[in-house]
């Protein structure tokens, strides 16, 4: 069965946040000043167990989900991840099982995750300039470790490897061409992401956004590109390939070219809240019914009701002036993944 929301968008992707903790402190997501050592993260008992995640995922696939993405915080902080991956990979209807990570912990487990059934990885890497990388990871990342992990993921067959780059004017936009040059010809797909007003703590301003069309002009001034079709209707990235055959890049333009019309993504936080938009200001608690013994039919009713009523299209309705000045209380990105 494929359920559709109030705007006829199918439920196709489920993003599953495994925990709210991260070993980075990226200023646009988890600024150190807010998420310091004394910050109270969720306790183990507040987080869904792997069995609970599997149950929700099984119900979601029965309603049409075919793509599962594991995210965080940083999902590789979950040391039992391979067994969860194995369980999810065996669910009927799962065609795509991916992981988003900052890759600091990836190299030692890449092969184990691939053997468990993980199909591919998306790696967050905002710059190859050491200083800029350190600034954008909150001083906690190590560039060499991330680059080694990309090689380890390739050896393990976790491909195509996507490299997500959040582009912020005056922070890393001057280093984007060097990053693209590094990955040209590798088969890895770099996606340039417009800086977004996610959550409530990154002090987002419109003048920090480098519109994709401007980035496209910068790239094309160096390497001619041609547009290629989306892999599937709800795919977020606008895809291009180098005319000289050196591979593919993508642009994710939530601010200047929103794509809510085909958005097919639901998000599950690690404490069991289901959100129907990255910028949602409220979710639906699935943990309580789960722990009160709800069976899969009851869970399916809850999920269907949520999705059938869904009409989110924040990015289409975003008013940058409002987003700048009146921080609408939105769910924090570290709780649901990007």
Q: Which C-beta is closer to ligand SF4: that of 124 or that of 254?
A: 254
Interface with ligand SF4, residue 209, by CB under 6 A: no
Q: Which C-beta is closer to ligand SF4: that of 265 or that of 287?
A: 265
Q: Which C-beta is closer to ligand SF4: that of 114 or that of 331?
A: 331
Positive or negative: CA dihedral 334, 199, 29, 31: negative
Specify which residues 15 forms β-bridges with: 69, 267
Specify which residues 164 forms β-bridges with: 124, 191
Rounded to whole angstroms, what are the CA distances from 103 to 40, 107, 148, 220, 326? 24, 7, 9, 29, 34
- Minimum CB–partner distance for residue 265 and ligand SF4 (Å): 6
- Minimum CB–partner distance for residue 259 and ligand SF4 (Å): 5
Interface with ligand SF4, residue 215, by CB under 6 A: no
d(CA 203, CA 216): 26
Other Cβ atoms within 10 Å of 243 Cβ, number:
11
Interface with ligand SF4, residue 278, by CB under 6 A: yes
- Minimum CB–partner distance for residue 313 and ligand SF4 (Å): 5
Stretch that binds ligand SF4, among 46-54, 218-226, 273-281, 285-293 (CB under 6 A): 273-281
Collapsing DSSP to helix, strand or coil, 226 comes out as strand
- Minimum CB–partner distance for residue 232 and ligand SF4 (Å): 14
Question: DSSP labels for 57-124?
Answer: HHHHHHTT--EEEEESS-GGG-TTHHHHHHHHHTSTT--EEEEEE--TTTGGGHHHHHHHT--EEEEE
Interface with ligand SF4, residue 279, by CB under 6 A: yes
d(CA 1, CA 64): 6
Binding track, positions 241-260, relative to ligand SF4; x by CB under 6 A: -------------x----xx
Q: Which C-beta is closer to ligand SF4: that of 25 or that of 330?
A: 330
Interface with ligand SF4, residue 153, by CB under 6 A: no
**Is 211:150 a contact under the CB 8 Å cutoff?**
no
Among residues 161, 263, 299, 333, the one that binds ligand SF4 under rule CB under 6 A: 263
Residue with tokens 């088969």: 187
Angle between helices 50-62 and 81-89 (to 10 degrees): 20
Contacts of 159 (CB under 8 A, 6+ apart): 120, 153, 187
Q: Which of 281, 40, 28, 57 is nearest to 165 (CA)?
A: 28
Interface with ligand SF4, residue 277, by CB under 6 A: yes
Stretch that binds ligand SF4, among 82-90, 282-290, 307-315, 323-331 (CB under 6 A): 307-315
- What the block records as the tokens of 135 is 């600034």
Q: Which C-beta is closer to ligand SF4: that of 248 or that of 312?
A: 312
Q: Which C-beta is closer to ligand SF4: that of 208 or that of 264?
A: 264
- Minimum CB–partner distance for residue 312 and ligand SF4 (Å): 4
- Minimum CB–partner distance for residue 196 and ligand SF4 (Å): 9
Rounded to whole angstroms, what are the CA distances from 308 to 2, 66, 188, 231, 271? 11, 18, 36, 25, 23
Interface with ligand SF4, residue 268, by CB under 6 A: no
Number of residues that bind ligand SF4 (CB under 6 A): 12
- Tell me which residues in 311-330 interact with ligand SF4 (CB under 6 A): 312-315
Interface with ligand SF4, residue 165, by CB under 6 A: no
The residues binding ligand SF4 (CB under 6 A) are 254, 259-260, 263, 265, 277-279, 312-315
């Amino acid at each position: 069965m494929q359920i559709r929301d109030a705007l006829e968008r199918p439920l196709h992707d489920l993003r599953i946040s495994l925990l709210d903790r991260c070993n980075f402190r990226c200023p646009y997501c988890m600024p150190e000043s807010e998420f310091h050592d004394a910050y109270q993260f969720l306790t183990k008992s507040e987080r869904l167990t792997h069995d609970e995640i599997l149950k929700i995922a099984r119900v979601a696939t029965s309603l049409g989900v075919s793509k599962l993405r594991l995210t965080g915080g940083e999902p590789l902080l979950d040391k039992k991840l391979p067994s969860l991956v194995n369980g999810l990979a065996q669910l009927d209807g799962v065609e795509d099982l991916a992981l988003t990570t900052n890759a600091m912990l990836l190299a030692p487990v890449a092969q184990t995750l691939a053997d468990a059934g993980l199909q591919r990885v998306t790696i967050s890497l905002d710059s190859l300039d050491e200083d800029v990388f350190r600034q954008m990871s909150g001083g906690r990342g190590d560039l060499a470790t991330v680059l080694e992990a990309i090689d380890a993921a390739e050896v393990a067959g976790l491909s195509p490897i996507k490299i997500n780059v959040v582009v912020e004017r005056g922070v890393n936009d001057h280093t984007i061409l060097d990053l693209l040059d590094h990955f040209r010809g590798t088969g890895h797909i770099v996606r340039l992401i417009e800086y977004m007003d996610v959550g409530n703590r990154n002090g987002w301003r419109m003048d920090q956004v480098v519109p994709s069309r401007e980035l496209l002009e910068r790239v094309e001034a160096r390497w001619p590109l041609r547009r290629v079709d989306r892999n599937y209707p709800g795919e977020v990235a606008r895809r291009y390939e180098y005319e000289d055959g050196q591979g593919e890049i993508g642009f994710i333009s939530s601010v200047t070219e929103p794509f809510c019309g085909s958005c097919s993504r639901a998000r599950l936080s690690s404490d069991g809240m289901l959100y129907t938009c990255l910028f949602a200001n409220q979710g639906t608690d699935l943990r309580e019914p789960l722990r009160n013994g709800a069976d899969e039919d009851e869970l399916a009713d809850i999920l269907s009701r949520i999705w059938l009523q869904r009409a989110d299209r924040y990015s289409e309705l975003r008013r940058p002036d409002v987003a700048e000045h009146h921080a609408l209380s939105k769910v924090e990105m570290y709780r649901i993944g990007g």
